[in-house]
Amino acid sequence: MKDIKKVLIANRGEIACRILRSLKRMAIPGVLIYHRIDACSPAVHLAGEAVEIDGPTPVAAYLDIEQIISLCKQTGADAVHPGFGFLAENPDFARRLAEEKITFIGPLAETIELMGNKITARAFCMGNGFPLIPSVTETDAGAEFIERVCELGTPLLIKAAAGGGGKGMHIVRELSQLERSIQLAKDEALRFFGDSAVFVERYVEQPRHIEVQVLADHFGNTVHLGERECSIQRRFQKILEESPAPGLSQQLREQICSTAVKIARQADYRNAGTVEFLLAPNGDFYFLEMNTRIQVEHPVTEMVTDIDLVELQIGIARNERLPFSQEQVRARGHAIEMRLYAEDADNDFLPATGQLLRYRLPAGEGIRVDDGFAEGMQVSSAFDPMLAKLIAHGHNRKQAIERALQALNDTLVLGIATNTDYLKRILSHSAFTSGQIDTGFIPRYHEDLKPPALTREQRDLLLAAAVLANREFTDATLKAPEPYASIGNWRN
């Protein structure tokens, strides 16, 4: 048993709030680092202790390993929870913490190097006989890289080796565009992850993106908590996730989940992680990548299993055994998570910035909200545009969709554009409600997902409201002119 006296949260926003709440339930003090841009955030107010960090940019501050270690020593934090993003999958960070005798709440640095990098993870899976899409890496092919990629045939998918989130990903359907697309991918990979390495794989048309939540302790116990459907994506980034995945046969579900557990065991994985797969229309599935951290979409798993993943992460980091076996894991109902983004979904998902003039999020039976903003805060372009996660749970998928739609109807954000209405249109689409989904859902139904045209009556009402909200117009037409305005209540 390893004692953890205080945990430093090396993150911000909604995941920082999420970690702080679990720490509070466990009666473990937490200390939050924050850049001044986040000084008024709910995470800072929620934290019992918060210390400011600095850097040439806000992102650089949260990536400053030595500054974070210095603050651990200054505050007496003997453990760090990295959340997701930033340093969560940085093996150098995990290694430096180990050197300083500070517990990293996540897997070992060696495991992050093995499974957190797509190229090494794919090589590992190939060597152990796990299903993979045919691919070519620069390190494997050397000078013959382009030639061997061409042998795969089109369509192709280029990926950054060191990261995810859609950064550095490009689909190539014409070989004449291959070299240019590879260079673009390398430039993006270097900019976002500090590593220009890429690999190219055969692109599977109309696949589903299925991921499996795994947990492993230091005593050889590895379990899964079921799968999540993550196929609703824009620009290779998820915007809506659910659990369980709709329409999977029990046999296929068990095959995918058991393969995820085997991969984690073979990699000697510890703590929480996610094994991701591509599911082809014919039922074949292939290893995609492993995220060696907690996922953005972990709440849907928590809602259906009633298991606190952050609490278990901390418990495993303290060398505790998993408190349940695979047979004891029970899923109930259905959960859907919607990512509320500050973006104009009807204008090519253009990120939006500005002040949150009104910010009201839903509540009610079966509704959970994870967010890191408050009314009056500024939304900047410094970070990812996600404002909050709205999670709806129901007895079945139909009820979960109904509650998700109600949650969006109860959401009010004024001051900046959000994707609230766009999410409603996805949830209401007949293909979604019938479970006919894959990663091409959004481009395929692009026209269907556009906002409906205004009727003449709606247009007239909006124009009237705009005119009546104009102070210059109302003052000129509705206020009494002088000298009558100055007479007040005087009567002759």
Average pLDDT, rounded, for the chain: 93
Rg (Cα) of the chain, in Å, rounded? 25
Q: Which of 188-202, 320-334, 382-396, 427-441 has the lowest mean pLDDT?
A: 188-202
Calculate mean pLDDT across residues 465-469.
Answer: 86
pLDDT at 77 over 70: yes
Q: By C-alpha distance, which of 368, 287, 361, 299 is closest to 122? A: 287
Domain with CATH 3.30.470.20 in the chain: 208-444
* Residue type present at position 357: L
User: Which residue among the candidates 228, 270, 293, 425 is catalytic per the annotation?
Assistant: 293
State pLDDT tens for residues 421-432.
999 999 999 999
pLDDT at 145 over 80: yes
So what's the pLDDT on residue 39? 96
Domain with CATH 3.30.1490.20 in the chain: 134-202
pLDDT at 96 over 70: yes
| Whole-Å CA distances, 290 to 45, 227, 230, 286 | 33, 14, 14, 12
Domain with CATH 3.40.50.20 in the chain: 7-105
Q: What dihedral angle (degrees, nearest 10) is formed by the CA atoms of 163, 164, 167, 173?
A: 110
So what's the pLDDT on residue 492? 59
Confirm whether 456 is a catalytic residue.
no
Assign 323 to helix, strand or coil. Answer: coil
Assign 224 to helix, strand or coil. Answer: strand
* Nearest-angstrom CA–CA distance, 264 and 107: 11
State pLDDT tens for residues 373-410.
999 999 999 999 999 999 999 999 999 999 999 999 99
**Architecture field, domain 7-105:** 3-Layer(aba) Sandwich (3.40)
* Nearest-angstrom CA–CA distance, 420 and 341: 8
Calculate mean pLDDT across residues 138-156.
Answer: 83
Q: How confident is the model at residue 189 (pLDDT cuts 50, 70, 90)?
A: confident
So what's the pLDDT on residue 141? 64
* CATH superfamily ID and name for 134-202: ATP-grasp fold, A domain (3.30.1490.20)
71 or 145: which leads in pLDDT:
71
* Nearest-angstrom CA–CA distance, 392 and 402: 9
So what's the pLDDT on residue 428? 98
| DSSP per position, 273-301 | EEEEEEE-TTS-EEEEEEE-S--TTHHHH
Has domain 208-444 been given CATH number 3.30.470.20?
A: yes
- Cis, bond preceding 443 (omega within 30 deg of 0): no
* Nearest-angstrom CA–CA distance, 217 and 271: 6
